[in-house]
A and B are shown apart, each in its own frame.
Chain A
């Protein structure tokens, strides 16, 4: 890539920092050039988030239909699979899978709910009602 071809399409990262790209000058010698972003990769990132938003919406619907516990919603919302959530809570993955059933979730002790709330960075009450106040 030539230095003058380094794209400067302002993306979400570009508002916070420009990033270093390696590119060649007119003599073919490598140098660095700051870039504020590239449309092609910004679109890839947008698509990834659209997919995540869809997964969150479908999880929410499943919870409302009583097909899953609010855990599913927060796992999608926090981009956590069972193994990451197990890391943050200390539960086993099979326990988490059990807690994904609404009837099992409803019978969880406050202590256990507290662990989930902490992992998702929300309050226990919000955990039950699927409320999210912050990004």
Chain B
């Protein structure tokens, strides 16, 4: 059993799954950056109270699940989304959807994801992949971060669909419910909608730990890490920051490049020069995030480590916060 489906590689799992599933039902113009931008995917949050692998929780993207939901909603595409308490029921539902001809998005944990290298297997439960068929005991898997389609046995798929811990997937599956004509007008509306929401998320979110204020705050905290945590732990925290920023799925520069690509693609639908100007700003901050990562690596490799290095690291984030603030204000002020 194999449904009609073309594997497409993308940078990030959720925007990739969203784009692939939508392109598959005929919305051929919905690229990964468009899905990411319509879903208001760009974010920043630093939550030291929540520990991820013994380091602070740091996020460069919005909460898992929202990109698919927002993008489909903005495009007026109804979705099927289901969680399960029974493993048998979860598999039956999946098989029925495949039999009906739908490729299916699945939320999975990566700890037991057999085709990932061991170094990448943490208890991270918000990975996304597409199941597009079954041959004997093997499910056919399109994992957007992989160059080529792969497979998982029935047992392996069940184990990752029912991974436990934070954000446990509970067998969650999702897919667009039906074929809907997506017009350029709808796309324009969805783009504006996504930008507005992202502006609001980055500029107006209350609290000191998220949005552009969160980046600025984190910059200030980093300057104190050396004294407060000691050099070794501070190095581990910086490594955590770099991994969240650059590891599989961000497209580089903590999703900033992907957002820059989104704004350029948006320009093709809504020719407004401010979109291109803002895009350049995100290219600039993406570059700065990566420059900061190089400095961080100097610290966690032990080549650097003076207070001046930590100050410089913090200043990079403070500079990034200012540029991103300006970019989002620019986007906010666009007269459509």
Contact = CB atoms under 8 A, between A and B. Distances in A.
A8 interface: no
Interface string B45-72: 0000000011000000000000000000
A13 B246 CA distance: 13
B33 A20 contact: no
A43 B247 contact: no
Determine the interface band of chain B, counting residues with CB < 8 A from chain A: 35 or more
Interface in B242-295: 242-243, 246-248, 251-253, 257-258, 260-261, 264-265, 279-280, 283, 286-287, 290, 293-294
A52 B280 CA distance: 39
A79 B53 contact: yes
A48 B300 CA distance: 10
A21 B265 CA distance: 16
Nearest to A38: B246
A133 to B, nearest CB: 15
Contacts of B188: none
Interface string A3-19: 00010000011011111
A40 B147 contact: no
A48 B280 contact: no
B252 A6 contact: yes
- Size category of the binding interface on chain A: 35 or more
A24 B252 CA distance: 12
Contacts of B296: 40, 44
Contact of A48 (B9, B236, B264): B236
Nearest to A80: B123
A57 to B, nearest CB: 15
A111 to B, nearest CB: 19
A55 B55 CA distance: 14
Contact of A22 (B117, B123, B258): B258
Interface of B: 9-11, 33, 53-54, 111, 115-120, 122-123, 145-148, 164-166, 168, 235-236, 238-240, 242-243, 246-248, 251-253, 257-258, 260-261, 264-265, 279-280, 283, 286-287, 290, 293-294, 296-297, 300-301
Interface of A: 1, 6, 12-13, 15-24, 28-30, 32, 34-35, 38-41, 43-45, 47-49, 51-52, 55, 79-80, 83-84, 87-88, 135
Given A21-B11, A30-B33, 6 more contacts: A17-B146, A20-B10, A30-B279, A32-B11, A84-B164, A87-B164
